[in-house]
Each structure stands twice: as structure tokens, then as C-alpha cells.
Structure 1
Amino acid sequence: MIITSTTVVDLFSGAGGTGLGFKQEGFQILGAVENNKHAAETYEKNLDVKVKNINIRELEPQTFREELNLQRNQLDVLVGCPPCQGFSRMQKNNKGINHQDNDLVIKYLDFVEEFMPKFAVFENVPGLITKPYGHIFYEKLCLGLKELGYKRNEKLVDVADYGVPQHRKRIIVIAGRNGEEPPFPQPTHGEPGKIDKSQTPLYPWLTVYDAIGNNKYPQLKPGENGEHDGKYPNHIAPKTTQKIVEFISMVPKNGGSRTDIPKQFWLKCHLSHKGHSDVYGRAAWNRPSNTITAGCLNPSKGRFIHPEQDRAFTPREVAALQGFPDDFVFYGKCLQVQIGNAVPPPLAKAIAQELRHRLIQS
């Protein structure tokens, strides 16, 4: 392999949100590892990088490093965004404490030890530091990085502050080898009306309207295909029963909630509890969307109804809310999982920009 620029290896790569952000900043992606075959296909076809489609537990770090023809200490950046379901806020009553993927945080550390990259980047949900059992793995990660000689710079961020039209909080850890203080990207956007113009200029948060408004995509009814000969890839509205369509049509446009509907029309499953108010809710045009999750095409999973049209979001629309460009096509099955689990490319790009600037200077 001929290395021509700053380099990155992408572990738990998903459909390519991190890879796209780093590629946009000029990084050469030397390799990627992803267990989901559909996400791996999406990554390969969009980023032109061969993805090792394997359960990372079955991959020895030394074997992978040697396959990439890399020496220890040669790689610039190693990125790891392990599955976060066990630490997710969706796991109630500590049900995620024994989740099978929790230990992948430590598996990432094994790869850091083998590759010894200039910088190591780690991303996960806030539950990694807020849930007691999550914090156990977080402390192991931090201690492991320290023992390897890395110095950390970490923050809990909202991706809306980095130009993503969505509220999505994540813990980001950036570690520098040989005790080097690693850079951390500064926010580029802020809450309208609260931006301190005397400080570094910030743009207002991007909104749902900025991402998918102004008739950017063809209007659809549930089940309709709006791809239009490939012009709008993945713009296909999920199928919905007539009963649900009728219920959705009663939810007030532009940010309305199911709780705005008279109780006589509520679904039976909503009559017995008061929680989950965002379920069957509409997104609002004038603010960032709620967090795009792996259930983002299902109105019963959150505020995933179009602001005006009586249907759930399409994969194309939620991809836009994640910061993916319209020419990034998702392949295979489980598109909602591929999109909802992705790292928003603008956040990855912001991290890549800071690291590349430091690497070029050194």
C-alpha cells in the first residue's frame, strides 16, 4: 500500500460516517472493520475502501496491522466507535449491564496498543460516563490509554454545535501518543439568541428545514418511492397501516405531539402510561431534530414524523439530518440501523480537521 497523506484506520466503521468526514479532510483511509455486511457494503461503495467484514472479536490486532502493511507507530489516527446499545439511555433499570457488546470498549484499546497511532479517537454515548457500569469500562479505557503513554482530551458534545441539524450528545475522547496534548475541535454553531458575538463567531444551529425543507425532496405518501431514477437515492417512504396514517394526520403540523390529539383518538398502547411523549411526534421545521436512532423510520420509536407530510421520514431525509450528502447512497437492508448508528460526518470532519492540522505541523 502506498501512503500518500495523513492516514486513518476506522474500527467499528458502520456505514461510513466517520470515514466520510476524515476523507473530506484529506485523510487516506487505510482500512476499516465492520461486522454488519450491509453497512460494510455501503462503506465500500461510497468510500472506495475495502472493509474487513468480520466480528472484531475474531480479528487479532497484530494480524490486521500486518495485513495493512503498517509498522507500529506508523499510523496517524485510529478511530473507534464501538456499539453503544448497552450504555444507551434506552436501557432502563440497568438492563444494559450485561450487554454482549460492552467489552468492545476494551477491544478498541487492544488495537490502540498494537498500532500505537499518533492519535486515538473514541466515540460513544453519554451513558458510558453517566451509568455506573458504563463508567467501569470508561475508567478501564482511560487507564489503558494512560499506561500506553497517551494524554487525553475529552468532552461531552452535542453534534448540533458542529453543523449537524440534530441534537445528539456523545462523549468524544481524543488521545495523543507520548503524552502529547491532543487538539479538540471548537464548536462552529450555537443556539440562536445565545451566541456570544464577542467570542469566536458561531453560526446558528442548523434546523430540520435547512436539511430537508423548501421542497428539497419529492412529496410522498406512505409506501411511495421518490427516488426518481436515482436522483433522490433512498427517498422511499416506509409503509404504514391506514389506521396509523389516520392517527398521524391528526398530529399538529410542524412539531406537534400525539398528546395534542384528544384522548378519544389515542392508540390503546398510549392510554396506560404517560411517558414517551415524543412517540408519534412530528419534527419541527425551525429547530434541530431529535436524536436520529436506529428506529428512525418508525413513528412508534420517537419524533420521526415529517413536519408536514402524513408519513414517517424516509432514509434519505434522516441521512440528511445526520449530515450525509445526497450523493451518499445506503445499500442493502436495515437502512435505519445503518443511518441511526452512524457518526455524523460533520462531527468526524471537525475532528479530522484539527488532527490533520496538528499532523501537518509536526
Structure 2
Amino acid sequence: MLKTISLFSGIGGLDFGFEAAGFETAVALELDRTSCRTMRLNRDWAVIEADINNVSSQQILEAGKLAVGEADVLIGGPPCQPFSKAGYWSKGDSLRLNDPRADTLTGYLRVLRDTQPRAFLLENVGGLAYAGKDEGLQYILTGIDQINREVGTRYHVSWRVINCAEYGVPQTRERVFLVGSREGREFRFPETTHAKPENLSSDLFSSKEPFRTAWDALGDLPAPSTEELKTLRPGGKWGELLPTIPEGQNYLWHTDRGGGQPLFGWRTRYWSFLLKLSKRLPSWTVQAQPGSAIGPFHWDSRRLSFAELCRLQTFPDDLRVDCGRTEMQRMLGNAVPSLIAEILAREIRVQLLDSALAGPLTLLPPRRTSVPKPEPACPVPEKYHSLLGVHLAHPGTGKGNTARLRSSVLASDA
């Protein structure tokens, strides 16, 4: 069994994928208490519950019963807040490497230097590689060059921004992956295998499959119990408006450019506001800390259950959780879809470790050809009729109220 060292393991999204590809997690390091409890509940890995900056590389090796150079792969996704697109747009710019949380990158590089695995995989949000704002990516690449000089390794790095839906994950989720070989081998990312059906219809020679959909992922799951449904019904100011949104739509349905009632201005809310899954499309990105009206929601006008979120993240079906809704959503929303980890792990075996794995992917959802009709939308409740009227559209990027306020603050500070 090939051995991995797992850093920033979370609930184990990367680990489950590598497990499906024939790897064993020798040791996992994670700071979050609930995530550590969940890993221990589901697997018998050696779990270190601590901040990476407070744990020596030697302690990690000892916990995994490994010697320097013995681990096959180092995997991990350092916390991504300093490089996330959401953080960038909410603040106008991101602190990135000036953010103390970016120290997690230094921690990852330090463990890579000290443990010297045969290969490594580092995952982060796509914002890590944004053109002109890629200090984090450059920091990693420069750090690996320094490691090679210090300890004599020949780590060669390949990286790519991946939309997981293009590899069969039933969820649109963009992440950047870096893969390196200690022996200097070049890693070639596999070609995409899935695409939008409308793109395939115009390409008679394409060997790709249509995107896996939310129905492919969820279609065989039983409906939540009556008791569970009570916890999944959305509340708050907008909960009763959700049933009026058709499948695959969001609040834009209720604007003067949608097909519903004019309750909101065009693009005056976040895209995920009242966002509902479609049975015929991949899910949109599962979020870690959604507000009461932030989706994606199930087409039955409710929040997604633990089992459903696991399916959208392509986790194994046998997982259990022992925590509240907020912590569960956070753990799953922060995780990496396990199928993309399985795909990359299999390629690492072949290309970098000379250890091919036979057989089909185990975490790829089956295709379900019989798709039920969309759920009918309900009329708008009377309590929202006071919102009916003319609503101005958002004036455009950089012209909204927040941007104007930020500009005035900067001008006054000048």
C-alpha cells in the first residue's frame, strides 16, 4: 500500500480520493477539532490535532511511522482565504501573502523539505493563480526551488486550474492543483473527460461525456425523514420565497429580465441568493458558510442533507458525522471533491511512482438516463407583494454602493 502524509486534511476529501486510488493515509494533520473528530469517527488514520506551525516534521514522521524519503506522496490544501475570489471582491483586494493565514504555505513547504516524499500534491482555490495576483503561486514555486538547493532533491512542479465538473464531478468547482516529483519527472495533467452537452452536440468526433448532474449524484438517495426535513427547511426572511424559484434558477427569476415577478433589481444580489439545483445540471459550488438564503438548495426547496452534500462532493457513501448543521456544512464546503483526487492520484501512480492501478474509477457517479420532470414553482406569497415594482439594475463592476464608499474612503485618506 502506498503511503501519504496528509496536511490540512479537513474532513478528508483528498484522502478519500487517494484511498480510492490505492493509497493509505499514514498520518493526517488538521487544526479543526470537529474535522479531527470526524476523521477519527470514519477512519483509523493517525490524526494529529494541531496547528502545523506548532508541530515538527519529525513528529509527523513518527506519528506516521515513516522515515525521511519513505512517504510516497505529501498531500494537502492549505487554508485558502488569502487567495479566494470571494475574499478579493468583498475587500477590493486580498492581503494574500501579507495575511497571517498564508503562513500555512510556509508550513507545507517546510514539511515537504523535511520529509522529502517521492511526490506531492498541493490544492488551493483558483485565485491562487490569478494573473497579476499570483504571489501565492510564485511563493510556492520559489520555495520548492529553494528546497531543491538545500537538500538536493529535484522536485519538478506542474500546475493547472481545474474545473472539477470537467472530470465527472457533479459540481462546478474550480481549484488549482500543483503536482511535483522528487526525481524531476514531469507530471502531465489528464485531459478533461466531460463537457457541457450543448458543446458536445456540435462536435461529432468528441470522446467526452456530458457533465455529470445533480440527479446523477442524488437520484437514488431516499428522501430525508420527517424529522430531518424539519432541520432542512429554510427560514429567515426569504425562506417562503424559495418554492417560487424554478429549478436551476436563482433570485434573477424575480427581476424584470426573468420570468417571475419584479421583486429585485438585476444583479443586485449574490449569484447564490435563492439558488436552486437543477436535475439536469451539475451543482454549483457547495459553500462552507452560506447564509439562510444562500444556495445551492435542493429542487425540493430545502437545504441539502449530509448524505446529499457528500454525494455532490463525491465522498464515499459510508461516512458519518457527529456535529451540528453549521459545522457539517463548513467541513463539507471546505473540502476537495474526492473524485478529482482519485483521478490525480491514479495519474501520480502511473507517471511518478511506476505503479499503475487497474479498473474503473470508484467515485465517479453513475449516469442516470431517466430524469424526472422539474418540480413546479409556486406562486409568490402575499407577504412579498410589497416588493413588486420597478427596481434598478446594478450599475456595473466598480460602480455599486460598496465600490463608491471604498473610493471615497481612499480619497479621504489620501
TM-score range, shorter chain: 0.7 to 0.9
Match of 2:214 among 208, 212, 219: 208
**Superposed, which structure 2 residues align to 1:4-43 within 5 Å?**
5-43=1-39
Kindly indicate whether the alpha-carbon contact (under 8 Å) linking 2:236 and 2:292 is maintained by their aligned counterparts in 1.
Answer: no
SS at match of 2:19: helix
Match of 1:330 among 295, 308, 321: 321
**Match for residue 49 of structure 1?**
45
Distance in 2 (CA, whole Å) between partners of 1:347 and 1:177 is 22
**Superposed, which structure 2 residues align to 1:129-168 within 5 Å?**
129-130=129-130, 132=132, 135-147=134-146, 148=148, 149-168=154-173
- Point out the more displaced range, 181-190 or 341-350: 181-190
Kindly indicate whether the alpha-carbon contact (under 8 Å) linking 1:305 and 1:313 is maintained by their aligned counterparts in 2.
Answer: yes
Query: What is the root-mean-square deviation of aligned Cα atoms in Å?
Result: 2.6
User: Structure 1 residues 286, 220: closer, same or farther in 2, change over 3 A?
Assistant: farther
SS at match of 1:51: strand
Match of 2:297 among 305, 328, 342: 305
Kindly indicate whether the alpha-carbon contact (under 8 Å) linking 1:15 and 1:342 is maintained by their aligned counterparts in 2.
Answer: yes
The answer to whether 1:281 aligns with 2:284 is no
Kindly indicate whether the alpha-carbon contact (under 8 Å) linking 1:125 and 1:169 is maintained by their aligned counterparts in 2.
Answer: yes
Q: What letter corresponds to residue 288 of structure 1 in structure 2?
A: P
Normalized against structure 2, the TM-score is what?
0.75
Kindly indicate whether the alpha-carbon contact (under 8 Å) linking 2:71 and 2:117 is maintained by their aligned counterparts in 1.
Answer: yes
Distance in 2 (CA, whole Å) between partners of 1:39 and 1:266 is 43
**Match for residue 181 of structure 1?**
186
Distance in 1 (CA, whole Å) between partners of 2:191 and 2:63 is 35
Kindly indicate whether the alpha-carbon contact (under 8 Å) linking 1:13 and 1:32 is maintained by their aligned counterparts in 2.
Answer: yes
**Match for residue 75 of structure 2?**
79
Kindly indicate whether the alpha-carbon contact (under 8 Å) linking 2:233 and 2:301 is maintained by their aligned counterparts in 1.
Answer: no
1:32-78 CA distances to partner (integer Å, 9 max, x unpaired)?
Answer: 00111111122222222121111111111233223433222211100
User: Structure 1 residues 313, 52: closer, same or farther in 2, change over 3 A?
Assistant: same
Match of 2:305 among 308, 314, 332: 314
Kindly indicate whether the alpha-carbon contact (under 8 Å) linking 2:5 and 2:27 is maintained by their aligned counterparts in 1.
Answer: yes
- Point out the more displaced range, 327-336 or 31-40: 327-336
Query: Any stretches of 5+ residues in structure 2 without a counterpart?
Result: 149-153, 357-414
Q: What letter corresponds to residue 191 of structure 2 in structure 1?
A: Q
SS at match of 1:22: helix
Q: CA deviation at 1:355?
A: 1.6
Match of 1:225 among 224, 228, 232: 228
Query: Any stretches of 5+ residues in structure 1 without a counterpart?
Result: 227-235
The answer to whether 1:350 aligns with 2:346 is no
1:124-143 CA distances to partner (integer Å, 9 max, x unpaired)?
Answer: 0111111755x222112112
The answer to whether 1:341 aligns with 2:346 is no
Q: CA deviation at 1:256?
A: 2.4
The answer to whether 1:293 aligns with 2:287 is yes
SS at match of 1:173: strand
Q: CA deviation at 1:17?
A: 0.9
The answer to whether 1:245 aligns with 2:239 is yes
Distance in 2 (CA, whole Å) between partners of 1:146 and 1:204 is 40
Kindly indicate whether the alpha-carbon contact (under 8 Å) linking 2:163 and 2:172 is maintained by their aligned counterparts in 1.
Answer: yes
Distance in 2 (CA, whole Å) between partners of 1:96 and 1:250 is 40
Kindly indicate whether the alpha-carbon contact (under 8 Å) linking 1:160 and 1:288 is maintained by their aligned counterparts in 2.
Answer: yes
Higher alpha-carbon Rg: 2
Q: CA deviation at 1:242?
A: 7.0
User: Structure 1 residues 219, 330: closer, same or farther in 2, change over 3 A?
Assistant: closer
Q: Sequence identity of aligned pairs in percent? A: 28
Distance in 1 (CA, whole Å) between partners of 2:55 and 2:284 is 35
**Match for residue 197 of structure 2?**
192
Distance in 2 (CA, whole Å) between partners of 1:198 and 1:78 is 38
User: Structure 1 residues 65, 299: closer, same or farther in 2, change over 3 A?
Assistant: same
Q: CA deviation at 1:187?
A: 2.6
Distance in 2 (CA, whole Å) between partners of 1:89 and 1:28 is 33
User: Structure 1 residues 54, 130: closer, same or farther in 2, change over 3 A?
Assistant: same
Q: CA deviation at 1:111?
A: 0.7
Match of 1:171 among 172, 176, 180: 176
1:222-241 CA distances to partner (integer Å, 9 max, x unpaired)?
Answer: xx416xxxxxxxxx743533
Distance in 2 (CA, whole Å) between partners of 1:14 and 1:38 is 9
Q: CA deviation at 1:209?
A: 1.0
SS at match of 2:86: coil
User: Structure 1 residues 71, 220: closer, same or farther in 2, change over 3 A?
Assistant: closer
1:174-213 CA distances to partner (integer Å, 9 max, x unpaired)?
Answer: 01113221343333322224345646x3322100111113
Kindly indicate whether the alpha-carbon contact (under 8 Å) linking 1:12 and 1:81 is maintained by their aligned counterparts in 2.
Answer: yes
SS at match of 1:117: coil
Distance in 2 (CA, whole Å) between partners of 1:53 and 1:331 is 17
Normalized against structure 1, the TM-score is what?
0.85
User: Structure 1 residues 266, 281: closer, same or farther in 2, change over 3 A?
Assistant: farther
Aligned length: 338
- Point out the more displaced range, 164-173 or 68-77: 68-77
